[in-house]
Structure 1
Amino acid sequence: MKISPTMPENVMLSELGKRAQQYRVGMNLTQGELAKNAGVSQRTIERLENGSSVQLEKMLRILRALRLSDNLDQLIPETSIRPIQLVGSKSEVRHRSYKRRSTAPKGQNSGWVWGDKK
């Protein structure tokens, strides 16, 4: 089954668990052997394969033991500077989001009123 953005999280976890189990079996490893190689408990492997949530650090260890950690780069790709940001600016890499603030000074009416107060 293909994982899609509209899937509920529990379905995604279940599908990831099934895939992890298929990789483990394909490598001819028991849950105990994978747990030992990953440095996690066997119960963690069981939870993952049953579609339950596991801690991110433990998931990363399991992916490394399954030789799947090279694929993590696709999970959150590196950002690059957009060409429009380079045009005529000395901008640095952004570290925070920015929301435009209202230009009206505090306490002044912006011109908008509720329908019953007109």
Structure 2
Amino acid sequence: MKIYPLLVDQAVTEEIGRRITAYRISRQMTQAAMAAEAGVSKRTVERLEAGEPTQLTNFIRCLRSLGRLEALELLLPELPPSPIAELERQGLPRQRVRSVGKKPARKKAWNWGDQK
């Protein structure tokens, strides 16, 4: 099943559990072996594979035991710095951009009787 935005949370966690099960089996690991390698209980692995709630740290440990921890980098890649942050990092001042075709403001306000 493809994970897409309209799926309810329970369906997403169940699909993640199915995928973790598939990776574990492809590595020819039992739930007990995976639990021992990840440093979690066998019950935690069972709950994770069933799509039940578990702690994020346990999920990370299980991904590490499956050799899939780097997949989190694809999930949430680091954002590049904003242009303003890059200027600040380089020690350059921010520059204001003037709209094209906009006339500069008058230095002195016009008053009645000033037309000479």
> Does the TM-score normalized on the shorter chain lie above 0.5?
yes
Unaligned 5+ runs, structure 1: 93-118
- For residue 90 of structure 1, report the CA deviation from its aligned partner: 3.2
Moved over 2 A (4+): 89-92
Structure 1: how far apart are the matches of 2:56 and 2:15? 17
Aligned residues: 90
- 1:70 equivalent to 2:79? Answer no
The aligned residue for residue 54 of structure 2 is: 54
The aligned residue for residue 95 of structure 1 is: none
- For residue 18 of structure 1, report the CA deviation from its aligned partner: 0.3
Structure 2: how far apart are the matches of 1:86 and 1:70? 27
Structure 2: how far apart are the matches of 1:86 and 1:59? 33
- Tell me whether 63-72 or 74-83 shows the greater mean CA deviation: 74-83
Match of 1:90 among 70, 88, 91: 88
Unaligned 5+ runs, structure 2: 91-116
Structure 2: how far apart are the matches of 1:25 and 1:74? 23
- Tell me whether 56-65 or 66-75 shows the greater mean CA deviation: 66-75
- For residue 91 of structure 1, report the CA deviation from its aligned partner: 7.2
- For residue 53 of structure 1, report the CA deviation from its aligned partner: 1.1
The aligned residue for residue 45 of structure 1 is: 45
Identical residues among aligned pairs (%): 38
Q: Which amino acid aligns with 2:69?
A: S
Tell me the alpha carbon deviations over residues 33-63 of structure 1, each in whole angstroms, 9 at most, x when there is no partner.
Answer: 0000000000000001111011000000000
Structure 1: how far apart are the matches of 2:37 and 2:85? 46
The aligned residue for residue 112 of structure 1 is: none
SS of 1:18 mapped into structure 2: helix
- Could you say which structure has the larger radius of gyration? 2
